[in-house]
Amino acid sequence: MERIILYYSDGGKTKVVAETLALNFRCDICQIRDLKKRDGFRNRLSSTLDAFRENKTEIYPPTLDLEEYDTVYIGTPIWANNPTPAIITLIDRCNLRGKDVVLFTTSNSNSESALEKMEMKIRARGARVVQQFNLNTDNKTPARIQKDTEALIVTKDLYLY
């Protein structure tokens, strides 16, 4: 079974989750970059608005060939209770038909609504969501996020996917 981890991370927390998954599964990993400037107070506000409105953005890589993978992990921080514009754009651009997808989010709360929205979009693209989780990263160090991710791999049976 071939897996790939695709993720967007602005502040590095989702990156820790993604890298922990890739390290444990010894699988491919790809960071999706948002070409719109997202740092600074003003950009934070416009990022929140973009996410709230489910706006698309310019991403790098602009698209991905997922032909060789059976299972695609897609991870994003939660912005305004939604997935980030980069990940909404990615889901729209990639051919996910027939893939098994594992969704993960990181946030300051225990919100499930972004996962539900992502699942609807993934299903509409002809893929099925086989597992999903949110990790609350509030006040957590990278080491703690890594440990929590390793625990989730076990409790969510992620070695199966």
Ligand X SMILES: Cc1cc2nc3c(=O)[nH]c(=O)nc-3n(C[C@H](O)[C@H](O)[C@H](O)COP(=O)(O)O)c2cc1C
Which residues here bind ligand X, judged by CB under 6 A? 9-15, 44, 47-48, 77-81, 106-109, 111, 137
Rounded to a whole number of angstroms, the minimum distance from the CB of residue 18 to ligand X is 9
Rounded to a whole number of angstroms, the minimum distance from the CB of residue 152 to ligand X is 14
Rounded to a whole number of angstroms, the minimum distance from the CB of residue 119 to ligand X is 18
Rounded to a whole number of angstroms, the minimum distance from the CB of residue 95 to ligand X is 25
Q: E strands, the chain, where?
A: 3-7, 28-31, 33-34, 59-60, 71-79, 82-83, 100-107, 128-136
How far apart CA 6 and CA 106 sit, in angstroms, is 14
How far apart CA 70 and CA 50 sit, in angstroms, is 31
User: With respect to ligand X, which residue has the nearer C-beta, 127 or 134?
Assistant: 134
Beta strands 100-107 and 3-7 are unpaired
User: Cα–Cα distances in Å, from 81 out to 87, 105, 122, 147?
Assistant: 14, 10, 17, 25
User: With respect to ligand X, which residue has the nearer C-beta, 48 or 95?
Assistant: 48
Rounded to a whole number of angstroms, the minimum distance from the CB of residue 126 to ligand X is 28
How far apart CA 120 and CA 14 sit, in angstroms, is 21
User: With respect to ligand X, which residue has the nearer C-beta, 87 or 127?
Assistant: 87
- Name the residue whose CB lies closest to ligand X: 11
- If DSSP codes are grouped into helix, strand and coil, which group holds residue 75? strand
User: With respect to ligand X, which residue has the nearer C-beta, 24 or 48?
Assistant: 48
User: With respect to ligand X, which residue has the nearer C-beta, 73 or 100?
Assistant: 73
